[in-house]
Amino acid sequence: MTANSGIFSVANSGEPRRFTMHAEDVIGVRPERTGRELCITAVDLYAHLLRMKANHEHLERARERKARKAERLARLRQARAERRLLA
């Protein structure tokens, strides 16, 4: 992807996309009714999709760990409060 990948930002989120095949294995993507096209090779696109999937799975595992940690800390906090109350 190019440094201008921000052109597909929230402002264009409702616009349909147009995909074009160029020479070799290059894919062009642009919002409909614009000339702002970004090009990427199929290999780079596949690598990007794999990276996105791996990042998504990593974030899911991190969310699960964070939830388990919050539960553990809540149990410890409750136990401390009960000990203080009974002491």
Q: What is the pLDDT of residues 21-65, one digit of tens each?
A: 998 899 998 888 888 888 999 999 999 999 999 999 999 999 999
**Contact call for residues 30 and 36 (beta carbons, < 8 A):** yes
- The CA distance from 8 to 3, in Å, is 12
CA distance linking residue 69 with residue 43, whole number of Å = 39
Strand pairing partners for 7?
none
d(C-alpha 67, C-alpha 59), whole Å: 12
- What is the domain count for the chain? 1
30: how many CB neighbours lie within 10 A of its CB?
Answer: 19
- Choose between 14 and 38: higher pLDDT: 38
**Residue-number span of the structural domain to which 35 is assigned:** 5-86
